Amino acid sequence: MAEVREIPEVWHPVGTAPPAPPLEGSVVEMTGTATWTPRSTGRSDVMRIAIGQFNEPSHERLTFAKQLGVSGVLLNTPRLPGEHRWEYEDLVRLRQHVESYGLRLEALENTPKGFYEQAMLGGPERDRQIEHYQATVRNVGRAGIPILGYHWMPNSVWRTGGPKTVGRGGVRVTAFELEQAKDAPLTHGREYTADELWANYEHFVKAVIPVAEEAGVRLALHPDDPPVPALGGVARIFNSFEGFQRGSEIVDSPNWGLDFCMGCWSEMGGNENVLRGIRHFGSRGQIYYGHFRDVQGTADNFAECFLGEGNVNLVQAMRAFKEVGFTGFLIDDHVPHMVDDSDWNHRGRAYATGYMIALLAAVNELT
């Protein structure tokens, strides 16, 4: 944990640097007139706070979101019919249900991994899965859902146990130590190299992005989590700034962009890496939404934590989003499990969401 430091007249939860100066040569003029508040949930043209990481839009979850004052919700791998793809009728019903609570369905994050796992691995069902994925993208667009998030991790997110999973005040958090995972067995029968993953990604994205353009759907790529070179014998290619830069050069499209998971970018290289990523991709309009979370540590040894006690200077990060003209939404993503919390961590999410709303309001007011 970073050392707490007292600074005259200014208090920070962790020892962070002073706010960064405004971007030089920003492509967006800072007017300060277009801002979001919890009273303006209908706005979609400004940076705003949403909530996510649930797969079923129950009355309780949507009511909770409405009470928090967020702009809308992100559903992660929503429970929808279909073994190979999602259909229009199910998707439009989902959007209409969310909207009936006065909320926007901001995005869907992740189809079931089985929809395109063979595409990631270059397996025999690759092209059939890509055809189904193209159909899903068309149906998402037809249903009026603007963003579909995805990842390129055939063996998913990894975490390990141990004392790092206990945080401030005994709160439960997730953690990762490469030392515990480095000798894990092969997850997919053999090793898959970075060259293979890159070739498979290029084939996939060149097939899917033109369909996304036609459908009006923006595809948002999530970083590898954790962003280490390989796990379980499968390489990880979106684990660095350079990896994302390479990915962005495969297709020149307004429909290729990022789900900017700040926690993963923090794992990759701390505060400066986060700011570099926001400035580079944000100024190009390639950040569609973000996960506003943080960690303590680095990619091979980290623990998630409360906002304000991790690697990132959150004021600098929020200001950077504003300075590049970001008009998407930010969600909490993973949060600590607090005392007497629910399985979905309502208390942790309320803390994180309130923090984000207040931070955004302060940055809007002061910049």
> What is the pLDDT at residue 24?
35
Across the beta sheet with 287-291, what order do the strands follow?
48-49, 329-331, 287-291, 256-261, 218-221, 147-150, 104-109, 72-76, 51-54
For residue 174, tell me if it sits in a domain: yes
Tell me the backbone φ, ψ of residue 231, rounded to 5 degrees.
-145, 140
For residue 355, tell me if it sits in a domain: yes
CATH number at residue 96: 3.20.20.150
Q: What is the pLDDT of residues 299-346, one digit of tens each?
A: 999 999 999 999 999 999 999 999 999 999 999 999 999 999 999 999
Find all residues with CB under 8 Å of 297, minimum gap 6, and list them.
267, 303, 311
| Residue range of the domain that includes 84 | 35-366
> What is the pLDDT at residue 367?
85
Contact 73, 50 (CB under 8 A): yes
For residue 22, tell me if it sits in a domain: no
- Give the pLDDT mean for 137-148: 98
For residue 212, tell me if it sits in a domain: yes
Confidence grade of residue 229 (pLDDT, cut at 50, 70, 90): very high
Is the pLDDT reported for residue 7 higher than 50?
A: no
Is the pLDDT reported for residue 196 higher than 70?
A: yes
Whole-model pTM: value is 0.90
Q: What is the pLDDT of residues 60-98, one digit of tens each?
A: 999 999 999 999 999 999 999 999 999 999 999 999 999
Number of domains in the chain: 1
For residue 227, tell me if it sits in a domain: yes
Residue with tokens 């909320």: 103
Q: Which two tokens stand for residue 360?
A: 């955004």
Query: Please, what is the average pLDDT of the chain?
Result: 92
For residue 12, tell me if it sits in a domain: no
For residue 25, tell me if it sits in a domain: no
Is the pLDDT reported for residue 22 higher than 90?
A: no
Q: What is the pLDDT of residues 286-299, one digit of tens each?
A: 999 999 999 999 99
Cβ–Cβ contacts within 10 Å for residue 293, how many?
A: 25
For residue 50, tell me if it sits in a domain: yes
> What is the pLDDT at residue 224?
98
